[in-house]
Amino acid sequence: MNYESRGLICKKNFIIDYFFYRSMFLPISTESRETMARILSGIQPSGTLHIANYFAMMKPMIEYQRENELFCFIVNYHAMTSNQDGERLRQNTLEAAMDFLALGLDPDKAHFWVQSDVPEVTELTWILSCHTSLGLLERSHSYKDKVAHGIVPNTGLYTYPVLMAADILLYQAEVVPVGKDQKQHVEITRDIAIRFNNLYSDVFTIPEPRISDDVAVIPGTDGQKMSKSYGNTIDIFEDEKNLKSKVMKIVTDSTPVADPKDPEKCGLFALYRLFAGSEQIEKMRTRYLEGGVGYGEVKKELLGLIIEYFAPFRKKREELSKDKGEIFRILRKGAEKTRQAAAPTLTRVKEVTGLSYAPK
């Protein structure tokens, strides 16, 4: 590609990005193109799911299914980059599926499946890996961050973005909701797809990332980003005794009760606003700014809000846990439906790359 044509592509992508991000701040009409978008996202079964998983990924996915074509899956291949315990991975996969269903995901409205039940994704991953430069992978911030935090690197962790690209491109996803730490992976996917399309033909839809600033970073009990890796999580279906212990141990500063406090710099307030209504939030914000509210009081109120919020979901999950066979049936059916959606893309990829060599 010459520099002139590359410049045209960059200009085109800038225009697309401008209107995409601008649309995030406009009211969404039920008649708009956005309501009919094909949206894809997945979650790793790397352990018990926590409230940051819920607000950053699970809750938006469940809401998207109402007016969009939703592809939502359990990414157990990705989990293998840091988990080689087969029994634990199997159990975590089932638990994640039950969590999603209990929280409101409807398998009749969405494509809902386990990543390893659709073998087409690994086939596409190999093909894409042969079209991905090492330089592109070496620029991955996520890989460097995980290694810096002590995770022993393996080839799977290094090539993680290629598998993620296959996850997205196989289903021709248009919108990929991600956290800020995953935005670069969608950009890598775009780079891979653009290069592939330029080399062969317009096979892949070029996906757009969607990042919600409201829940971009959810603090854990220690004030850092909530993550299982940091051991600072509050689980979605935490039993009440453990939940109380974790909430009451949330790290705060030493500002006296009577003094004003800055709600925007308080991790406890950031968690509070996830569960409270708009009037409650504004009232608490005023109390912070005026002084006179103690962190212990806020923690007790937060505890009650969390228990109340998840109560109906907890009841649904208890029902699901009594019938594991139904969970397996839902996942098998979801995989069958998803494989049908994947087949046209993989067929086209094999045609243009010459992997389908028999005469038509």
CB 80 within 8 A of CB 122: no
For residue 257, give the amino acid letter.
V
Grouping H, G, I as helix, E, B as strand and the rest as coil, residue 258 is coil
Task: Determine phi and psi for 256, rounding to 5 degrees.
Answer: -60, 155
The rounded distance, in Å, linking the Cα atoms of 134 and 326 is 43
- Cβ atoms of 25 and 214 within 8 Å: the answer is no
- Cross-sheet strand order for the sheet of 175-177: 111-114, 69-74, 38-43, 175-177, 208-210
Helix 267-275 vs helix 295-320: angle between axes, to the nearest 10 degrees? 50
Catalytic residue among 59, 225, 333, 350, which?
225
Tokens, residue 78? 């990705």
Say whether 265 is catalytic.
Answer: no
Exposed, middle or buried: residue 339 (CB in 10 Å: 0-12, 13-18, 19+)? middle
Q: Which two tokens stand for residue 150?
A: 């002590």
| CA–CA gap between residue 16 and residue 8 (Å, rounded) | 12
Extract the tokens encoding 46: 């790397």
Residue 146 annotated among the catalytic residues of the structure: yes
Pair 38, 174: CB distance under 8 Å: yes
Asked whether the beta carbons of 37 and 69 are under 8 A apart, the reply is: yes
Of 98, 111, 35, the residue nearest 71 (C-alpha): 111
**Choice among 228, 246, 261, 299 that is catalytic:** 228
Secondary structure (3-state) at 190: helix
**Do residues 205 and 169 make contact, with C-beta atoms less than 8 angstroms apart?**
yes
β-bridge mates for residue 70, sequence order: 39
Q: Is 225 a catalytic residue?
A: yes
Nearest alpha carbon to residue 198 among 5, 69, 54, 3: 5
Please give the positions annotated as active site.
146, 225, 228
